[in-house]
Chains A and B, each alone.
Chain A
Amino acid sequence: MIFSLAKKSTLIVEDFAEFARSVRAMLSTMGAKNIDIVYNAEDAIEACKARKYDVILSDYNLGQKKDGQQLLEELSKYHLLKSNCVFLMLTAENTSTMVMGAVEFQPDGYIAKPFTGNLLKSRLQKATDKKDALHPISRAIANKQWEVALENIDKVSKENPKYKMSCLRLKYKALKNLKQLDKALELVTKIVSQRAIPWAMQAVGEIFYLQKNFKKSLDIFKNVTTEFPMALEAYDWLAKVQHELGQPIDAQTTLTKAIEKSPKALQRQKNLGSLAEENNDLPVMTKAYREAVKHSAHSAFSSPEEYLKLTTALTRQINEDPASSTDAVTKEAEQVFGKLEKAFSSSGTTKLRSSVARAQLYKANKNEEKQKKHLADVEKNLINLDEQISANISLELSESLREIGSEELSDEILNEAIQQNLDDPIFIEKASKLSNNQDLINLSKQAGQYNSKAINYFKNKKITDAINYFKKANKIAPTNINICLNYVQARLKQAQSDKQNIDSLHIADQILSTMPNLNFSDHRYARYSELNRLIQLMLQERE
């Protein structure tokens, strides 16, 4: 069969216009009619939102902003690629420079520039053949149907011996996701016993890690980093294992080595920053989070954490190093706050955290006026907050506010968090160390116990008893969303089994309409809306 692009839509992402045109000419000779060209990653993302391409050719170097790898990561993360889309990376260098990094998001091939039309055609054809052959597997994986994937892997592997290695790698991934760790280990150990293939060696270490066999895992990853000094992911794993074994200083050294080789990795910089914080190494912590913030702007994996950690480090610098230039450090921190608030402008929690951190900065600066101003912002942001704050962030905020002497706001956040998380014993333990409201802690523990008792009754289908205890828990902690939803569900169950019972429905309806608002992005929102739908439906039927 002659390879043709006649029926395929293609996208060229290349910052060098002349070169983009020459690639277009090559694609035209292969019969391509639908060829779009964009000159940067941002436009490529827009193009992929508008249209699902069959073939994407992207340069790795795309100027100052996102590079080709980051583009691929973002397209994959937001599901903007067809599962059989062929993505080829055009590179200036020896191609394996990038191959050893991101295992999760790999392109279907690399071509070193400059290249001829003949070579492009050959690579495209090979990548297309492979993608098509493996499609039954990649489709199942995209839908997280790992069992189906496993079945398809065996089939595809038998029919296409050429793709045996790729199939083995996918099989490893499927087994790992199915938590069949012994089988996964057996598979990769067999590969490694024949040849030292970097990905398979790493996989062995990964399984040992998952099996909590940290000593063996350590040996493997040390071995990989010695034999393949550019296998950067192995350094990430090695650091993780070292940390697990209580060697945070070694872990920091390991990550520093990896970052010297490739500084352009957001998660690695964040991990280094966190280790440096643990090791009390303020200069490294500051530098790592500074780099993280720099890369965060172009990454699909950016989060407020790196920004806030950087301002924490800078604030600590003012507190701990009197020789540092306070003005310059403050100015840098202010810029970071500005970037943070712009990047996450729709998040109420981020606004709140940012205002708390700003108040901390000016406390360190001994600038009372500005500290007060930002504390006023904290209050305002707290009132306007339209989402639940997670347990850990609540603790962090409460602690910070206490440090800068704002007991009242600290208590407000902590008390709300205690109410919301009383079914989380680890959290309550931490909170009880911070809170001076021992009554609330005790009551919360009580409510938490009622709640878990009720859940047990519910599981054993003793609905009346369950309702009894949920009711008690709800009475102590009326704003706790989990308890509200549990109670509503028990009431609903009762109404479903007893057609005469309208009271239960009214009580459930009452709770749903008076409990705290749930933001659409909250993971419990789906449960809330389904319960609400069922109750409204039954109320209509019965009245």
Chain B
Amino acid sequence: MQKNNDDIFNLILASTVHDMKNSLGMLGQSLKSIFEHIDPAAIDTKANNLCGIVQYETSRVNNSLMQLLAIYKLENEQLPFNPSYYNLYDFLDEQRLLHLPLLEAKNIDCEIDCDEDIEGVFDESLLGTVLENIIGNAIRYTKNKIAIRCNQNDMLEIEIADDGSGYPEQMIKLEGNYIHGINQSSGSTGLGLFFAQKIAEMHKHKDQNGSIELANGGALNGGRFIIKLP
């Protein structure tokens, strides 16, 4: 019976998420159409900014839905994990592309510092969902600049840094226990970090596991998110 309830919940969750995502897609598309119908001269900076906010919030909800569904599946051993070789630069470039409209609207410079020859082993779709969330947050908290930097030594390391005011001290202190960062009263973004940690840990090689790390400072003197994959 329990099994049966799980199946039903799984089905309801998946189809509801599907439905909500369709609606979100339409929302974004409709907003775009509204802008196409308005005389461009009438669109001022304020309207543009408001439009950017709607787009940003839409993609945030969408990304949260993806994470929610993925975590549910992970708990039920139903989350596919399919690591393969990918060109890291191409992958990161696409991540930037995802956020391009917002980056342009908010006039944020996003640079990628990554050797074009690096072939990394990871699950493209899952790591993509992680980075989409982290970059989205960086856009929210940065002032003018985001830097995506990576290198491959023993581990494949991707860092997303911004020039904002950095992560709150209590968040950095969580060090791997990001589940405690999910705090309803503060509306904290702990879900994204918790998800990132889970996905990082799924990546294993020999006796090494992936991990994430938060820090402040660095070249941009803001928040730094680092994910290390074996």
Give 30 CB contacts A-B under 8 Å: A61-B18, A92-B17, A93-B17, A93-B69, A94-B66, A94-B70, A94-B126, A95-B125, A96-B82, A100-B80, A110-B125, A112-B125, A113-B22, A114-B21, A114-B29, A114-B62, A116-B97, A116-B98, A118-B100, A122-B94, A123-B94, A126-B90, A165-B85, A195-B83, A228-B80, A229-B78, A230-B79, A230-B80, A230-B82, A261-B78
A530 at interface by CB-CB < 8 Å: no
Give the CA-CA distance A99 to B77 in the complex, in Å.
16
Give the CA-CA distance A231 to B81 in the complex, in Å.
8
Give the CA-CA distance A195 to B121 in the complex, in Å.
8
B101 at interface by CB-CB < 8 Å: yes
A165 near B78: Cβ-Cβ < 8 Å: no
Instruction: Contacts A95-B124, A118-B101 known; list 9 others, CB within 8 Å.
Output: A19-B29, A94-B125, A94-B126, A95-B125, A99-B125, A195-B121, A197-B121, A229-B77, A230-B78
B84 near A165: Cβ-Cβ < 8 Å: yes
Q: Which of B20-48 contact A (CB under 8 A)?
A: 21-22, 24-26, 28-29
**Interface class of chain B by DSSP:** helix
Tell me, rounded to whole Å, the shortest Cβ–Cβ distance linking B12 to chain A.
14
B83 near A122: Cβ-Cβ < 8 Å: no
A93 near B98: Cβ-Cβ < 8 Å: no
Contacts of B90 in A (CB 8 A): 126
A113 near B94: Cβ-Cβ < 8 Å: no
Give the CA-CA distance A112 to B101 in the complex, in Å.
17
Tell me, rounded to whole Å, the shortest Cβ–Cβ distance linking B62 to chain A.
7
A517 at interface by CB-CB < 8 Å: no
A113 near B25: Cβ-Cβ < 8 Å: yes
A99 near B82: Cβ-Cβ < 8 Å: yes
A92 near B21: Cβ-Cβ < 8 Å: yes
Contacts of B101 in A (CB 8 A): 116, 118
A119 near B94: Cβ-Cβ < 8 Å: yes
A198 at interface by CB-CB < 8 Å: yes
Tell me, rounded to whole Å, the shortest Cβ–Cβ distance linking B163 to chain A.
25
B140 at interface by CB-CB < 8 Å: no
Give a binary string over A4-37; 1 marks a CB under 8 Å from any B CB, 0 the rest: 0000000000001011001000000000000000
Give the CA-CA distance A118 to B78 in the complex, in Å.
31
In the complex, what residue of chain B is closest to A168 when comparing beta carbons?
Answer: B85
B51 at interface by CB-CB < 8 Å: no
B28 near A114: Cβ-Cβ < 8 Å: yes
A142 at interface by CB-CB < 8 Å: no
Q: A94-B70, A99-B82, A228-B81 are in contact. Are A195 and B205 (CB under 8 A)?
A: yes
Tell me, rounded to whole Å, the shortest Cβ–Cβ distance linking B121 to chain A.
5
Q: A93-B14, A162-B87, A229-B77 are in contact. Are A114 and B24 (CB under 8 A)?
A: yes
Q: Which of B57-106 contact A (CB under 8 A)?
A: 62, 66, 69-70, 77-85, 87, 90, 93-94, 97-98, 100-101
Give the CA-CA distance A371 to B20 in the complex, in Å.
54
A376 at interface by CB-CB < 8 Å: no
Give the CA-CA distance A100 to B25 in the complex, in Å.
26
B83 near A197: Cβ-Cβ < 8 Å: yes
Q: Which of A16, A99, A118, A162 contacts B22 (CB 8 A)?
A: A16
A114 near B129: Cβ-Cβ < 8 Å: no
In the complex, what residue of chain B is closest to A19 when comparing beta carbons?
Answer: B25
Give the CA-CA distance A503 to B17 in the complex, in Å.
78
Q: Which of A97, A118, A165 contacts B80 (CB 8 A)?
A: A97
Give a binary string over A477-504; 1 marks a CB under 8 Å from any B CB, 0 the rest: 0000000000000000000000000000
Contacts of B157 in A (CB 8 A): none
A19 near B26: Cβ-Cβ < 8 Å: yes
Contacts of B81 in A (CB 8 A): 96, 228, 230
B213 at interface by CB-CB < 8 Å: no
Give the CA-CA distance A126 to B123 in the complex, in Å.
18
In the complex, what residue of chain A is closest to B70 when comparing beta carbons?
Answer: A94
Contacts of A126 in B (CB 8 A): 90
Taking beta carbons and an 8 Å cutoff, which residues of B are in contact with A?
Answer: 3, 14, 17-18, 21-22, 24-26, 28-29, 62, 66, 69-70, 77-85, 87, 90, 93-94, 97-98, 100-101, 121, 123-126, 129, 204-205
A93 near B87: Cβ-Cβ < 8 Å: no
B26 near A18: Cβ-Cβ < 8 Å: yes
Give the CA-CA distance A501 to B14 in the complex, in Å.
76
Give a binary string over A87-107; 1 marks a CB under 8 Å from any B CB, 0 the rest: 000001111110110000000
Give a binary string over A122-146; 1 marks a CB under 8 Å from any B CB, 0 the rest: 1100100000000000000000000
Contacts of B121 in A (CB 8 A): 195, 197
Give a binary string over A149-184; 1 marks a CB under 8 Å from any B CB, 0 the rest: 000000000000010110000000000000000000
Give the CA-CA distance A52 to B124 in the complex, in Å.
31
Give the CA-CA distance A283 to B227 in the complex, in Å.
49
In the complex, what residue of chain A is closest to B69 when comparing beta carbons?
Answer: A93
Give the CA-CA distance A126 to B126 in the complex, in Å.
19
Tell me, rounded to whole Å, the shortest Cβ–Cβ distance linking A146 to chain B.
24
Contacts of B79 in A (CB 8 A): 94, 230
In the complex, what residue of chain B is closest to A232 when comparing beta carbons?
Answer: B80
A526 at interface by CB-CB < 8 Å: no
The 3 lowest CB-CB distance pairs between A and B, nearest first, are A114-B25, A230-B80, A92-B18
Contacts of B82 in A (CB 8 A): 96, 99-100, 198, 228, 230-231
A93 near B66: Cβ-Cβ < 8 Å: yes
Contacts of A95 in B (CB 8 A): 124-125
B123 near A96: Cβ-Cβ < 8 Å: yes
B21 near A118: Cβ-Cβ < 8 Å: no
Contacts of A164 in B (CB 8 A): 85
A196 at interface by CB-CB < 8 Å: yes
In the complex, what residue of chain B is closest to A197 when comparing beta carbons?
Answer: B84
Give the CA-CA distance A195 to B125 in the complex, in Å.
18
Contacts of B21 in A (CB 8 A): 92, 113-114
Contacts of A19 in B (CB 8 A): 22, 25-26, 29
Tell me, rounded to whole Å, the shortest Cβ–Cβ distance linking B118 to chain A.
12
Give the CA-CA distance A520 to B34 in the complex, in Å.
60
Give the CA-CA distance A197 to B122 in the complex, in Å.
10
Tell me, rounded to whole Å, the shortest Cβ–Cβ distance linking B133 to chain A.
13
Contacts of B25 in A (CB 8 A): 19, 22, 113-114
Give the CA-CA distance A396 to B105 in the complex, in Å.
71
Give the CA-CA distance A261 to B81 in the complex, in Å.
14
Q: Which of A312-333 contact B (CB under 8 A)?
A: none
Give a binary string over A246-278; 1 marks a CB under 8 Å from any B CB, 0 the rest: 000000000000001100000000000000000
Tell me, rounded to whole Å, the shortest Cβ–Cβ distance linking A464 to chain B.
63
Contacts of B124 in A (CB 8 A): 95-96
Give the CA-CA distance A32 to B183 in the complex, in Å.
48
Contacts of B78 in A (CB 8 A): 229-230, 261
Q: Which of A99, A112, A229, A261 contacts B66 (CB 8 A)?
A: A112
Give the CA-CA distance A30 to B146 in the complex, in Å.
29
Contacts of A228 in B (CB 8 A): 80-82
